[in-house]
Amino acid sequence: MFDTIIIGSGPAGLSAALTLKQLNKNILWLGKKDLSFKINSAEKIRNYPGLIEVSGKEMRDVFLEQIKKMDLEIVDKQVTGVYPQTGKISVLCGSEAYEAKTIILAVGVETVKPIAGELENVGQGVSYCATCDGFLYKGKEIFVYATNKNYEHEAKYLATLAAKVYYCPIYKDIDINMTNVEIINSRPKEIKRNGLRKKDIILSDDRTITVDGIFMLKDAVSPSVLVPGIETENNHIKVDRQCKTNYDGIFAAGDCTGRPYQYAKAVGEGNVCAHSVVAYLNQNK
C-alpha cells in the first residue's frame, strides 16, 4: 500500500511529488510522462518566480530535468475512478487497482464543458480512457473526440481495434490517415441513447451519427465522475486551507480546486497537500 497516490502531472502534482519524495514517503505518481501541460507554444510565462520569461515548453523541460534529478517516476495510467474505503483508498486505472493511505488529486480542470448526455452515460457507452475500454469495441463503430494532439496516438490505437472510427479532433495539424477513420469537422453537441446498446451523437451541423461507443479524450474529467461523492463548488473540488476535501485522506491541488488557474498557485497547493498528507499519515499510524 502506498503512502500516497498523486494523480496528475501538472505543476501541482510535481510540487507534491518533489516534497513527498524529499520526505521519504512511498508514493505512486500517475500522470503523463511529458507532463501534458496545456502548453501554448507562443505563450511567455512572466510571473512564475524563479523562471524568467520562459515558454511553456521551456518550463516543461526544466520540470522534466528536475523529475529525473530527483529520481521521480511518472506512471502513465489513466485513472478511471477513486474509491474511498475503510482505512484505504482504491484507485482504478481500467482493470488495474492501486491502494494508498492518502490521495492527492491534481487532475486539472476541464477546459471543455461536458456535452449534454455525456456525464449520464459514463461507463455506459461513454469512456474517457482508450487503453482501458478500447477492447470493448473490437470490430464496432465508435466516435472519438480529442481536445489535443497528444490524444492522436490513442485514436490510432482505437482505429486498430474498431471497424470504424469517427474522429472529431478540436486541434489543428491533424495527422491521421487510416482507411477506417473518418474525420468529423463539426463538434458534438449531444449524446442520446439509441436502443439498448447504441448511442446517437448529434453534431453542431445537426447531423446524427450512430455508434456503439464514444471516447471523450480530454485533459481532465469532472471531479465528480472521477471521485463519486466528492464535494464540489462550481465544478471545482471544494477544499479548505489545508487542501482537504470532504473525504478523509483525499486532498486536492491546482486548477481542480478553482481559480486562479496559475502555475504559482498550483505549485503552492501541491506543497500544502504534501504537508497535509504527512500530517495525516502521522495521525493515522
Residue 23 CB neighbours (<10 A): 14
- Closest to its own copies by CB, 51 or 119: 51
Task: Report, in Å, the least distance between residue 29 CB and its own copies.
Answer: 14
- Closest to its own copies by CB, 107 or 203: 107
- Closest to its own copies by CB, 85 or 283: 283
Q: Which residues contact 240 (CB under 8 A, 6 or more apart)?
A: none
Grid cell, residue 113, equals 464543458
Task: Report, in Å, the least distance between residue 249 CB and its own copies.
Answer: 18
- Closest to its own copies by CB, 58 or 190: 58
Q: Which residues contact 238 (CB under 8 A, 6 or more apart)?
A: 231, 232, 245, 246, 257
Burial of 68 (0-12, 13-18, 19+ CB in 10 A): exposed
- Closest to its own copies by CB, 166 or 280: 280
Task: Report, in Å, the least distance between residue 18 CB and its own copies.
Answer: 4
Task: Report, in Å, the least distance between residue 234 CB and its own copies.
Answer: 13
Task: Report, in Å, the least distance between residue 71 CB and its own copies.
Answer: 11
| CB-based contact 253:10 (threshold 8 Å) | no
249 φψ region: left (φ > 0), alpha (ψ -120 to 50), beta (else): left
| CB-based contact 246:257 (threshold 8 Å) | no
Q: Which residues bind its own copies (CB under 8 A)?
A: 11, 14-15, 18-19, 21-22, 46-53, 59, 62-63, 65-66, 69-70, 239-241, 258-260, 262, 264-272, 274-275
